[in-house]
Amino acid sequence: MAITVSQLNVYPVKGLRGIAVDAAHATERGLARDRRFVVVDREGHFLSQRELPLMATVWTEIAGDALLLAAPDLDEIRVPLDPAVGEPLQATVWDSECAAIAPSPEADRWLSEVLGRPCRLAYMPDTTRRTSNPRHAGPGRLVGFADGYAHLVVSEASLAALNARLDRPVPLDRFRANIVVRGCEPFAEDGWGEFSVGAARLRMAKPCGRCQVTTTDQATGEVTGPEPLATLSAWRMSPEFGARFGMNAVTLAPGAIRVGDAVVPA
């Protein structure tokens, strides 16, 4: 059975709801438009669903040259998708401190109201070159505001194997993957090295260690734990990477990817 792409997901703002797309361009930093924005606190430290599960309920949409944000009971707000100007700031994601800009005081106020704490929307300009850990990614591999790597790849078969162990199955959106594939055995993606997908060529860098975000309902923002993290921690635990599900990948050769494209491991 051929392995193919079954879903492509772009998350314009780290931690907020993503967008399912039929096609995307795999750039050096990840799928185009993926996690070029991040929500930060007053000190510039990134905010995520780990501490603010309500972030899951903030919708994102791309409309022409604008990023739209929407939330229940509030009017949507529009931000330039590629802002050219904004207040300079330093945005910190884990151990990475990145030069960024805050392009929209209106978006800052809007997000602060939605999330119930002072925060800002920060954008990574093209001039900022954040790199992944070279130990796993190799030297000079770029990434946006994702946790650490350009892409997250998950197979439908891996989710089915996990759900077979759960009393209540969980949907794939709990894992916030960029590229979802079908047609392989469960966790086959763990063993891939280089692979082609559409016109792009990627390489698996490391397993993705999962956190409590997997216990958050992505439709309601409700934390429903302890599953699926409890089962993954008992079944797929690694001393180095934690509870493994999915693989982080880097871009070797940029190119277009479409739902239905063949995935060919080397």
Q: What is the pLDDT of residue 73?
A: 86
At residue 90, the pLDDT reads: 98
Give residue 34's domain range: 4-265
CATH value at residue 64: 2.40.33.20
Q: Total domain count for the chain?
A: 1
Per-residue pLDDT of the chain (266 residues), as tens digits, is 799 999 999 999 999 999 999 999 999 999 999 999 999 999 999 999 999 999 999 999 999 999 999 998 899 999 999 999 999 999 999 999 999 999 999 999 999 999 999 999 999 999 999 999 999 999 999 999 999 999 999 999 999 999 999 999 999 999 999 999 999 999 999 999 999 999 999 999 999 999 999 999 999 999 998 999 999 999 999 999 999 999 999 999 999 999 999 999 99
Q: Which DSSP string corresponds to 85-139?
A: --EEEEEEETTEEEEEEE--HHHHHHHHHHHTS--EEEE--TT---B--HHHH-T
For the segment 100-139, what is each residue's pLDDT rounded down to a tens digit?
A: 999 999 999 999 999 999 999 999 999 999 999 999 999 9
Strand 255-258 with 237-238, pairing: unpaired
Q: Which residues contact 83 (CB under 8 A, 6 or more apart)?
A: 101, 103, 104, 123
Contact 190, 247 (CB under 8 A): yes
Report the pLDDT value the prediction gives residue 62, as an integer from 0 to 100. Answer: 97
